Amino acid sequence: MRLFAYKMIFAAAAASTLLCIAGLTALRAQQAPPSASQEKAQAAAPESTARTLTDEAGLRVTIPAQVNRVISLAPNLTETIYALGLEDKLVGDTTYCDTPAAARAKPHVGDTINPSLETIVGLHPDLVFATMINRIDTVEGLSRMGIPVYTTDPRTVRGMFDSTAHVAELMGAPEQGKALVAQMQARLDALHAPLTDRPLVHVLFVVWKEPLITIGQNTFIADALRWAGAESVVVSKQDWPQLTFEEVVRLQPEYIVTASTHTGEEGKRSLEEFRALSQWKDLEAIKAGHLAVISDEVDKPSPGLIGAIEDLAHQLHPEAFAEKSTATGLIAAPREERTAKCAR
Amino acid sequence: MRPLTPRRIILICAGLTGVLLIVVLIALRMGAYSISIQDIAMTLFRGALGRRDEILPDFWNVVFEIRLPRILLGILVGASLAVAGAGFQALLRNPLADPYVLGVSSGAALGAIVSLVIAPRTPGAIQVAAFVGAALTVAAVYFLGRRGGQLDSATLLLAGIVMASFLSAAIMFLITTLSGHDLLRGMAFWLMGDLASPPPTRDVLEWFGFLFFVFVIAAGAIYTTSSDLNLILSGEQEARHLGVNVNRVKLVVYISASILTGLAVSVSGAIGYVGLLVPHVMRMIFGTDYRLLIPTSVIGGAIAIVLADTLARTVMGPTELPVGAMTALAGAPVFIYLMRRRVR
């Protein structure tokens, strides 16, 4: 019995060792190549101007001189690239990238959490754009193969401006970036003037109804609310805190703000939805019809966010824009009527 | 039943290894990036000879950077989990035992979550923290699971289950309080089990070498006890009378199986079902003798994970599923089929 056992151990050990050796020899080559590829990169460096910089997540990235093919790993980045008019250089995006509609036709590399690295390799990108919702594993896996990944991390509306400018600059179109940022800034300034002497509206931003999820003060949505003359009633260091309904009743927000889905005419339907829920229907804000439904662009730190801010500001402060709206015709009439009717 | 001879063990293992090789070839061939079997053969051949210059960069990345490391990790994790499962089933004398029954995976998950809070977006932090969490759990369960200074199957099982539910509760608590954390999105993937994480070290060779080394030591240690395990399974008293040092055997199996589980969980998260099902499937096909069950479980576990991961990578392409979802989805029907066939 013993002898048998020892024979078997030997056999098992020998087999495992063989397996190890086989696996390791196949990988042995891997050790040398990185240096080989580095040499190549260095050899190529003098003629072009590849540069190394730190991205918004604090990682070092080497950007090639010519960036003609990029992949976006998040919907807000895809939208930014389209807003910059640089979509011809976008060779791939994720299955979640649906704004603008043309983005759906781009080759998809998978979803944001788990994209297929080999699909990305096959698309030969010069640069991949990521955000903090992408996993570090994805970024690390791509960097290992010499595919540079630039991670953006916009935490405020101004941060979104910076990210937009960075994306434009990295794609070799800094002027487009400056122009777009200036245009967005102008729209915010136009919004700012009428709102300066108006009190902030205390709102509850509903990310998700069941369970009730709202926003923390460090999110770009909280910042967007401030630009629209509003302030979240919930103060939390967590980005997406979960609330009990008791807390909502205690805080008594003046307005409930939520993002629509893509279907049209959701404004009225949504108020009915809230009124159909036993908890919500007795809330003062809902009783008074103080519900502001804005475009789901508010969920993404991309240039579309400005439109959502404008929409929200007009819904929350109809009086401030009353004279102006006749002059510029900025406000959609039905919403104005609806919000104006609500006694404040 | 034919007598178990070394010749028979070697023949069966050789046959299974052949199946594994075929599965590995299929796994190398399948994926979002289409590459012919000839190209794979040439890439492997040139890679093994260290002639990287002759390999297309795409082929190099797809084969050596993406698919092969993932397959090797799958083999290692599958083999570890299956041996650990077989070991725990004998140690606890319970057919329902799997590598996670004593709370090792919960401890590892807790460690991983803590690492996400302390050192977010640090490559390798999850693996190290998960291993520390697993080791602490194993030690705690060991001290709780002794009776009269010796490991007692029933006490150990109870201690493990209590520890597992306590740690799961702690995980739920952390996940709820951290619900805002962007990083927890990746955590859901980790909890299901996922092979996509790149190695934490720059040197892939070193990493796999280390993992295989630990695996060979721990699995070899369990293998040395296989004839003793056969006797213990027919009754602890009888085994004692036949001169088996039951306490020593139990300790060896407990420590080795825990190391294997901790290792697998740290590198790939909690991949379910493989550790439970593979030893049972191997018992159904090849009989209950541990001298044959352990080597067949090693290869069977590797086959199961590599197959499941190939499916996980391809069925939803280009989006990749966590391999844990696939092992449960594909594993349960296979198991039911084998079980019903045997009952009939």
pLDDT given at position A268:
53
Spell out which residues of chain B touch residue A238, defining contact as CB-CB under 8 Å.
Answer: 177-181
Spell out which residues of chain B touch residue A30, defining contact as CB-CB under 8 Å.
Answer: 47, 64-65, 204-205
Contact A291, A258 (CB under 8 A): yes
DSSP string spanning A29-40?
Answer: HHHHHHHHHHHH
3-state secondary structure B47-61: HHCCCHHHCCHHHHH
Average pLDDT over residues A89-96: 93
DSSP B320: P
pLDDT given at position A43:
43
Nearest to B280 by CA among B237, B332, B236: B332
CA distances from A20 to A24, B44, B80, B200, B210 (A): 6, 16, 14, 19, 10
Kindly report, residue by residue over B280-324, the tens digit of the pLDDT: 999 988 988 999 999 999 999 999 999 999 998 888 877 788 888
Spell out which residues of chain A touch residue B122, defining contact as CB-CB under 8 Å.
Answer: 136
- The ipTM (two decimal places) reads 0.81
**Dihedral, CA of residue A13, residue A19, residue A24 and residue A29, to nearest 10:** 150
Spell out which residues of chain B touch residue A232, defining contact as CB-CB under 8 Å.
Answer: none
Average pLDDT over residues A78-82: 95
- How far is A334 from B264, CA to CA, in rounded Å? 59
- What pLDDT band is residue A341 in, cutting at 50, 70 and 90? very low
pLDDT given at position A121:
92
Kindly report, residue by residue over A293-310, the tens digit of the pLDDT: 888 888 889 999 999 999
pLDDT given at position A323:
60
Closest CA–CA distance from residue B198 to any residue of chain A (Å): 6
C-beta pairs of A277-280 under 8 Å, 24+ apart in sequence: A277/A209, A279/A245
Q: Is the pLDDT of residue A81 over 50?
A: yes
User: Closest chain A residue to B294 measured between Cα atoms?
Assistant: A12
pTM of the model: 0.80
CA distances from B14 to A235, B18, B82, B216, B286 (A): 64, 6, 18, 18, 14
Kindly report, residue by residue over B139-158, the tens digit of the pLDDT: 999 888 888 877 888 888 99
User: Closest chain B residue to A113 measured between Cα atoms?
Assistant: B186
pLDDT given at position B327:
86
- How far is B167 from B101, CA to CA, in rounded Å? 12
pLDDT given at position A262:
47
pLDDT given at position B182:
59
- What pLDDT band is residue A263 in, cutting at 50, 70 and 90? very low
Q: Is the pLDDT of residue A238 over 90?
A: no
Q: Does A185 touch chain B (CB under 8 A)?
A: no
What are the structure tokens assigned to A119, written together? Answer: 């699909």
pLDDT given at position A5:
47
Average pLDDT over residues B124-139: 88
Q: Does A3 touch chain B (CB under 8 A)?
A: no
Kindly state the percentage of chain B with pLDDT values over 70: 96
Kindly state the percentage of chain A with pLDDT values over 70: 77
Least confident residue range of A20-34, B11-25, B243-257: A20-34
Average pLDDT over residues A131-156: 89
Closest CA–CA distance from residue A284 to any residue of chain B (Å): 27
pLDDT given at position B235:
86
**Dihedral, CA of residue A93, residue A98, residue A101 and residue A102, to nearest 10:** 0
Least confident residue range of A100-104, A271-275, B6-10: A271-275
CB contact under 8 A, A57 and B121: yes
Least confident residue range of A103-112, A125-134, A238-247, B170-179: B170-179
DSSP B29: H
Q: Is the pLDDT of residue B35 over 70?
A: yes
Q: Is the pLDDT of residue A204 over 90?
A: yes
- What pLDDT band is residue A48 in, cutting at 50, 70 and 90? low
Kindly report, residue by residue over B42-57, the tens digit of the pLDDT: 888 888 888 878 888 8
Kindly report, residue by residue over B78-92, the tens digit of the pLDDT: 999 999 999 999 998
- How far is B87 from B73, CA to CA, in rounded Å? 21
pLDDT given at position B253:
93
pLDDT given at position A267:
47
pLDDT given at position B183:
60
pLDDT given at position A194:
86
pLDDT given at position A312:
92
pLDDT given at position B153:
84
- What pLDDT band is residue A150 in, cutting at 50, 70 and 90? very high
CB contact under 8 A, B6 and A11: yes
Least confident residue range of A170-174, B50-54, B269-273, B300-304: B50-54
Average pLDDT over residues B246-263: 92
pLDDT given at position B6:
86
- When comparing pLDDT for A53 and A17, which is higher? A53
Contact A127, A150 (CB under 8 A): yes
- How far is B98 from B159, CA to CA, in rounded Å? 15
pLDDT given at position A136:
82
- When comparing pLDDT for B143 and A328, which is higher? B143
**Dihedral, CA of residue B313, residue B315, residue B316 and residue B321, to nearest 10:** -40
**Residue B88 CA neighbour count, 13 Å, CB half:** 29
Q: Is the pLDDT of residue A259 over 60?
A: yes
Cβ atoms within 10 Å, residue A257: 27
Among A11, A32, A241, whose Cβ lies nearest the Cβ of B180? A241
Residue pairs spanning A and B at CB distance below 8 A: 179
CB contact under 8 A, B180 and A95: no
- How far is A90 from A126, CA to CA, in rounded Å? 10
pLDDT given at position A329:
43
Average pLDDT over residues B21-43: 90
- What pLDDT band is residue A231 in, cutting at 50, 70 and 90? very high
Q: Does A108 touch chain B (CB under 8 A)?
A: yes
pLDDT given at position A144:
86
CA distances from B325 to A10, A335, B77, B95, B184 (A): 36, 46, 15, 22, 18
pLDDT given at position B331:
81
pLDDT given at position B97:
87
The letter for the amino acid at B333 is P
pLDDT given at position A42:
44
**What architecture is the B74-343 domain classified under in CATH?**
Orthogonal Bundle (1.10)
For chain B, positions 283-312, list CB contacts with chain A under 8 A.
291, 295
| Site of tokens 């006694």 | A343
Q: Does B207 touch chain A (CB under 8 A)?
A: no
Q: Is the pLDDT of residue A23 over 70?
A: no
Spell out which residues of chain B touch residue A60, defining contact as CB-CB under 8 Å.
Answer: none
Spell out which residues of chain A touch residue B215, defining contact as CB-CB under 8 Å.
Answer: 16
Strand A149-152 vs strand A70-72: parallel, antiparallel, or unpaired?
A: unpaired
pLDDT given at position B124:
76
pLDDT given at position B101:
86
Average pLDDT over residues A316-333: 61
Contact B25, B38 (CB under 8 A): no
